[in-house]
Structures are given as C-alpha cells and as structure tokens.
Amino acid sequence: MAELNIVEKVIALEAVELLKNLTPDQLSRIASIAREVKYPPGKTILDPNQSLDALYVIVDGAVEITRNGQVVLVARQYDVLGSWALFDDEPIAVTAKTVEDTQLLRIARDDFFDLLSDNMEIAASIFSTLVKRFRKLVEQQA
C-alpha cells in the first residue's frame, strides 16, 4: 500500500459524517494533520477499557467491531471509528480489531484542537453539523 497523498486523504475524509459540511480546502487542512497508520490483522484499535484520543478512517482493509464478544459489524473502506473521540475522551463500549492488513488515517484530538483554534470557520462548520444532528434527534424524540 503506497503512502497517501493529500488529495487521497481528503477523499477519505469526505466520508466522515462529522466533517461533511467542510469544503475541500478545509478538509485539506485536516488532511494535513491526519497521519497514516498501518496495522496487521489482530491489532486492537478501540478498547472499551481505554479512553479515546483519536478518530480513525479506514482507507483500506477491514476492522471487526464487537460488543460483549458479539460481532456487530465489519467496517471497511471509508468507514469511521471513534468519531466522537474528537470531542469526548470517554471510552465506547465496543472493541475494534483489524481482521486483515489495514491502512487508516488517524486524527489526534490535540492536533485537531490546534487546527480549530486557527481555523474558526472549520469549527463553525463542525458545530453546524452537530447542531443539525442534535436537532434531528430532538425531532425524532418529539
């Protein structure tokens, strides 16, 4: 698997629900802090006993998500793992483990906040997405 260039990273990031309101330029700034990581099969990415500090986007490969030992789904290309990790470090109640050679983009929370502090318009777009999502939830509850 070749190294990803910035355009390929942006294409991968366009799949992230949380970032869907961002323009390609803004995504390119996030892409510049997204680090490429490659894991062999059997590597645990999310652990219910450990706090989260990064979001992952699968670029290639597959990751099995289990809850209490039961397989919930197998995540593949452009699926996102730990999307709330950018705002909340609480562990989530699932385990994510690679089932084959897997290439991911990792966005660390600290880098993300540094980026937001210099790019208010990115923060505003993300707030907008969160508010829309929240509004949808409220409407579903009503």
Partner 1 sequence: MFDVRRGELTRTILMALYLMFVLFSYYILKNVSRAMFLNKFDVNKLPWLWILMAAIGGFIAYFYSRFAVKSSLTHAVAWTTALSVGSLLIIWWVLRFNFWWMLYVFNIWVSLFSIVLVSQGWLVAANVFNSREAKRLYGILGLGAIIGAGFGSYFTRVTVELVGTDNLLFVAALLVVLSYLAFRGVAARTEMPLATARAAKEPPPAFMFQDILTALGRYRHLQAIAAIIVITYMLEVTVDFQFSQVAKAAYPDKERLTAFLGSFSLWMVMVEFLLQFFLTPLMLSRIGVGGTLQIPAVTVGLASLATFWWPSLFSTGAARLTEESTRYTFHRTSMELLYLPLPAELKNRTKVFLDIFGDRLARGLGGLLLILLTSVLRFEVRYIALVALAMCLIGLVLTTKARREYVETVRRRLAMRRLDLEEIRISVQDKSTVTLLEQTVLSPSPRQAAYALSLLAEIQGYSLEPLLQKLAASSAPDLRAQVYEVARRSTYGELLDQALAEIRSARPGESSPSVKPAVAYALSVTPEDTDLASRLLEHPCPLVAEGVLEALAQRPDFAHALITREWLAGASTDPRPERRRLAAIAIGVRGSEDPGTLRRLLDDSDLRVAQAACRAAGVLKNRDYLEALIQRLADARLRSAAIDALASYGAGITGALSDLLVDERAPMASRRQAPRVLRLIPEQRSVDALLAALALPSLVIRSAVLRALNRLREVAPQLDYKAESLTQHILDDVRYYYRLSAALAPFRAHKNLKSATGLLAHTLEERLKHTLERLFRLLGLRYPPAEMHAAYLAVHHGGVQEYSTAIEFLDNILERDLKRFLLPLLDASGNFERGLEIFGIEAQTPEAAIRDLIGSDDTWLVACAMAAAAELGFRALIPEIRQASRNASDEVGAVGHAAVATLT
Q: Which positions lie near partner 1, rule CB under 8 A? A: 2-3, 5-8, 10-11, 14-15, 23-25, 28, 32, 78, 114, 117-118
Minimal distance, residue 79 CB to partner 1, in Å: 13
> Which one, 10 or 80, has the nearer CB to partner 1?
10
Minimal distance, residue 111 CB to partner 1, in Å: 13
> Which one, 2 or 142, has the nearer CB to partner 1?
2
Minimal distance, residue 5 CB to partner 1, in Å: 4
DSSP 95: E
Q: Which whole-number Å values give the CA distances from 111 to 6, 20, 92, 127, in the listed order?
A: 17, 19, 21, 18
Alpha carbon of residue 101 to chain centroid: 18
> Which one, 16 or 81, has the nearer CB to partner 1?
16
Residue with tokens 């355009």: 7
Q: How many CB atoms lie within 10 A of CB 128?
A: 12
